[in-house]
Amino acid sequence: MPEGSIKKTVSDRGFGFLIPEGGGEDVFFHVSALKEVKIEALREGDHVEYEAETGDKGPKATEVRKKE
C-alpha cells in the first residue's frame, strides 16, 4: 500500500492532496476516501497510507488512512 504525507486539505470543500513517499506527482483525495479519520483532524505533514488509482485529472487516492 503506498504511503505519503498530507500536503494540503480544503475541509470546507471536502478534498486535499498528498505527497507520495519517494516523490512524484501530488495525489488528490476526496473526503469520501478517508477511513477512520475526519478531514478536520488531518494536518499538513501527517503520514498516511492509501490505495492509488488514476482519475480523470491524474492520480487519485482511495482508502486513505492516517498512520500513527
Model confidence at 55: pLDDT above 90:
no
pLDDT digits (tens, 9 = 90+) for 4-23: 999 999 989 999 999 999 99
Distance from first CA to last CA of the chain, Å, rounded? 15
With contact defined as beta carbons under 8 Å apart, do 48 and 17 qualify? no
Q: What is the mean pLDDT of residues 18-46?
A: 95
Structure confidence at residue 9 (pLDDT): 94
Structure confidence at residue 30 (pLDDT): 96
Q: Which domains does the chain have, with CATH numbers?
A: 3-66 (2.40.50.140)
Rounded CA Rg of the chain: 10
Question: Is residue 1 packed enough to be buried (19+ CB in 10 Å), middle (13-18) or exposed (0-12)?
Answer: exposed
pTM of the predicted model, to two decimals?
0.90
Model confidence at 62: pLDDT above 90:
yes
CA-closest candidate to residue 16, choices 67, 59, 56: 59
